[in-house]
Amino acid sequence: MPRCLTRRVVPLSALLVGLSAGNLPHAIPTAHAQPHPAAPASTADETVRRAGDARLGSSGSLADVTAVSETNIWAVGQEGLWDVWRNRGVVTHWDGRSWTEVSARGDVTGVGALRSISAVSAGELWVVGDGHDGMPYVGKGGPGGFDRVAVPAVRGGDWLRGVAAQPGKVVAVGSRAGKSLIATGAGAWTAVLGPPGALHGVALKGKDGWAVGDTGTRPLVMRLTGSGWKQVSAPNVPGGYLRDVYLQSGRRAVAVGAVFQGDENVEPLIMRWDGKRWTRDKLPIPEAELYGVSGDGKGRYWASGYDPANPGEAFLLKYTGGRWEPLRGEPAEEGRLVRMRAVTRTGELTMAVGHAFGADGRYDDLVESFGPATQR
């Protein structure tokens, strides 16, 4: 994103959503090239530059991605997606040519699903997810690997979904016992509980910060102020939830998610902050689910997700020229279902990660990169 960029007790349906999001340990570095051909996308100035995967193992999925530069990109996820007790958290690194797995170390029980990553610098990154000991996993590391960080402010049963980091400050968000949770590390760690619900995404920039999620019935938005985190008003969208937030400045921010419209229908949801209030954007498609959002710092944004009308293609929405337009990945394969769980923008590169679910019932991690059409 770069974002400097539910293990709460959840119903089964929410747990499956979290699992399908992708989220892993086995510390054998391996490098893999990206051999897949490019394919045309749907916007005139941006096309598929690279399509492939990070070569995770069985039932692999990527949950988040953050970029330091076009040749220094990090992603997290998991292998063994359907095995809650034996899944393995994965941190992997893109150097512009290939992906290399970097070790994620915990206690003897190992590292479970990893859900979010944020970069402070090329040598300092933070990840959050699950430990196999029943505690949330918070890790700090870089090219040499990641180690677990003791966070006394969180406890067993807490669920962490998002992390944002900048020099001297780390914020992890999630839920505890049905209430939103914000844990902050700035020397010592502290944790505060917010309104009922859960937080899924967080962004920091200087003294500004936003965290987004849902109350169980509508979107939830929290803002970092001089006196701490406070809930702020947002459009009342019954059935709506927010999964990620991108912070450009104190006057510009974007949050994405979806709105449940019955048993299976899901309407895309994007809200933008103009410095005074959050408003809901009109979108070009009636059904979609959005999971991640990023920007270039200049007023252009990218949101990644799933389009049920074209389930076999990687799907993004791109905001430029005052409107949102679809941006699609390589042509669909028959019987494939693709969800792009996160997206990051750096330089002229847009990279989205997630997974593809095939007709054979197998999950495979998926990476789609977009760039200027002239650089195909």
Section 149-174 average pLDDT:
97
Q: Does the pLDDT value for residue 306 go beyond 70? A: yes
Residue 7 is assigned to a structural domain of this protein: no
In degrees, rounded to 5, the angle at the alpha carbon of residue 222 between the alpha carbons of residues 22 and 68 is 50
Q: Please state the domain count of the chain.
A: 1
More confident: 376 or 143: 143
Q: Does the pLDDT value for residue 94 go beyond 50? A: yes
Contacts of 248 (CB under 8 A, 6+ apart): 205, 254, 295, 297, 299
- Global model pTM greater than 0.95: no
Residue 297 is assigned to a structural domain of this protein: yes
Q: Which two tokens stand for residue 233?
A: 């008003």
Contacts of 128 (CB under 8 A, 6+ apart): 114, 115, 116, 136, 137, 138, 139, 160, 161, 162, 163, 172, 174
Residue 131 is assigned to a structural domain of this protein: yes
Q: Does the pLDDT value for residue 219 go beyond 80? A: yes
Q: Does the pLDDT value for residue 360 go beyond 50? A: yes
Q: How many C-beta atoms lie closer than 10 Å to residue 131's C-beta?
A: 22
Mean pLDDT (the chain) is: 87
Residue 6 is assigned to a structural domain of this protein: no
Domain region containing 124: 12-375
Kindly report which listed range (102-111, 177-186, 221-230, 242-251) carries the lowest average pLDDT score. Answer: 102-111
Q: What is the pLDDT of residue 196?
A: 98
Section 81-89 average pLDDT:
76
Section 299-325 average pLDDT:
96
More confident: 225 or 203: 203
Q: Does the pLDDT value for residue 11 go beyond 50? A: no
Section 146-159 average pLDDT:
96
Element (H, E) at 311: none
Q: Does the pLDDT value for residue 23 go beyond 50? A: no
Residue 66 is assigned to a structural domain of this protein: yes
Kindly report which listed range (7-16, 149-158, 170-179, 260-269) carries the lowest average pLDDT score. Answer: 7-16
% residues pLDDT > 70 (the chain): 87
Residue 5 is assigned to a structural domain of this protein: no
Nearest CA-CA partner of 259 in 279, 275, 234, 239 = 239
Q: Give alpha helix (H) positions in the chain.
A: 12-20
Q: What is the pLDDT of residue 85?
A: 63
Per DSSP, the residues of 317-343 read: EEEETTEEEEEE-SPPPTT-EEEEEEE
In degrees, rounded to 5, the angle at the alpha carbon of residue 214 between the alpha carbons of residues 209 and 217 is 155
The dihedral through the CA atoms of 12, 76, 252, 256 has a sign that is negative
The CATH number that applies at residue 316 is 2.130.10.10
Q: What is the pLDDT of residue 176?
A: 98
Section 102-127 average pLDDT:
93
Alpha-carbon distances, residue 188 vs 178, 184, 213, 306 (angstroms): 25, 8, 25, 39
Section 120-135 average pLDDT:
95
The dihedral through the CA atoms of 124, 144, 292, 326 has a sign that is positive
Q: What is the pLDDT of residue 30?
A: 29
Give the chain's largest Cα–Cα span: 53
Per DSSP, the residues of 72-85 read: EEEEEEEESTT-TT
Residue 3 is assigned to a structural domain of this protein: no
Contact 63, 23 (CB under 8 A): yes
Contacts of 323 (CB under 8 A, 6+ apart): 284
Q: What is the pLDDT of residue 33?
A: 30
In degrees, rounded to 5, the angle at the alpha carbon of residue 68 between the alpha carbons of residues 139 and 94 is 80
Contact 184, 171 (CB under 8 A): yes
Q: What is the pLDDT of residue 232?
A: 97
Residue 323 is assigned to a structural domain of this protein: yes
